[in-house]
């Protein structure tokens, strides 16, 4: 492991993971994240950020490379356990993806729990896709993308699009997605990687899950909430990227198995020792490699 990755892991252990272990309020978590966000620029390099085409119930932005981006659109859903968000981090991440894939990004800041439990954020994602179609974007030029909880949301939105019989996107990028809120796999990576994961702690996972479903535990197994239980017949290809030491490693593996078992296509890349969200950390060498792999996948399925 290189020194950049080692440094990132240590920093994450001392900040984000410690915060997640403490019994703090959502407001306190959001304030702490606002402080961490100062490490990332408000505008990604060589990109314009626009707020044209507002959505009715949530905020959304366009992130457009200043160089000609082409006609591909990456519809991206941020991470944050459905209760917090890292807007500067996410802008920087999608800016790099768009530069590499010659695309522009629609970054959707869907509504968060506990103020807006499921299906609010999910509905925002579906509405954002519908808006792109109504704006005349060809579905085979749209790529669904998401990190962490946003990756799970992207898969849930994909299922909803298919269920509505709308035209399907070209492909899906799922970076360390949260795909299983039932958390029934007691011998899974959620246990075996609990100490190895440098970023995430699931000690308060039950509380966060309850917030997202508004206290209705019956929703945990809904495919739009836990897309590991979805039927992926007729859906486009999905690329999973996940670190080998992440607690949610098996969320990617099990979701990919489910996709293949129900008729879809999925690739899983397990990156040795990479921390959760490493794709958005440009000083880590493997971040650039992961971005290039994402861009290759996008160019292959939305040529």
CATH code for position 253: 3.40.50.1820
pLDDT at 11: 56
d(C-alpha 246, C-alpha 260), whole Å: 22
pLDDT at 187: 62
Task: Report how far apart the first and last C-alpha atoms of the chain are (Å, whole number).
Answer: 34
Neighbours of 160 (CB within 10 A): 19
Q: Per-residue pLDDT tens, the chain, 303 aa: give them.
A: 786 767 656 555 646 655 565 667 889 888 888 888 888 888 888 999 999 999 999 999 999 999 877 899 999 999 999 999 999 999 999 999 999 999 999 999 999 999 999 999 999 999 999 999 999 999 999 999 999 999 999 999 999 999 999 999 999 999 999 999 997 656 688 888 888 887 777 766 788 889 999 999 999 999 999 999 999 999 999 999 999 999 999 999 999 999 999 999 999 999 999 999 999 998 898 999 999 999 999 999 999
The tally of domains found in the chain comes to 1
pLDDT at 233: 96
Residue with tokens 């800041």: 109
Range of the domain at 22: 3-301
pLDDT at 213: 97
| Count helices and strands in the chain by DSSP H and E runs | 10, 8
Active site residues: 148, 246, 276
DSSP 95-150: HHHHHHHTEEEEEEE---TTTS-TTHHHHHHHHHHHHHHHTT--GGGEEEEEETHH
pLDDT at 296: 98
């Amino acid at each position: 492991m290189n020194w950049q990755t080692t440094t990132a892991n240590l920093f994450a252990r001392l900040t984000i993971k410690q915060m997640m272990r403490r019994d703090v309020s959502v407001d306190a978590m959001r304030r702490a994240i606002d402080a961490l966000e100062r490490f990332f620029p408000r505008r990604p390099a060589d990109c314009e950020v626009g707020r044209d085409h507002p959505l009715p119930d949530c905020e959304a932005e366009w992130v457009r490379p200043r160089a000609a981006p082409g006609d591909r659109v990456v519809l991206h859903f941020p991470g944050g356990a459905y209760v917090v968000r890292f807007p500067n981090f996410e802008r920087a991440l999608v800016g790099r993806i768009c530069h590499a894939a010659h695309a522009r990004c629609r970054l959707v800041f869907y509504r968060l729990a506990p103020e807006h439990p499921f299906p609010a954020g999910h509905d925002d994602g579906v509405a954002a896709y519908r808006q792109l179609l109504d704006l005349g974007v060809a579905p085979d030029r749209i790529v669904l993308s998401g990190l962490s909880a946003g990756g799970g949301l992207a898969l849930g939105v994909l299922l909803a699009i298919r269920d509505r019989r709308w035209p399907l996107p070209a492909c899906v990028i799922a970076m360390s997605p949260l795909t299983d809120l039932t958390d029934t796999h007691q011998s899974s990576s959620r246990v075996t990687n609990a100490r190895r994961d440098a970023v995430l702690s699931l000690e308060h996972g039950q509380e966060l899950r309850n917030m997202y479903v508004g206290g209705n535990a019956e929703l945990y197994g809904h495919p739009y909430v836990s897309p590991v239980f979805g039927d992926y017949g007729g859906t486009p290809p999905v690329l999973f990227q996940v670190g080998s030491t992440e607690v949610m490693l098996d969320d990617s593996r099990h979701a990919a198995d489910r996709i293949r078992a129900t008729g879809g296509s999925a690739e899983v890349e397990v990156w040795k020792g990479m921390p959760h969200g490493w794709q958005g950390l440009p000083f880590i060498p493997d971040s650039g490699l992961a971005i290039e792999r994402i861009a290759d996948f996008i160019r292959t399925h939305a040529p």
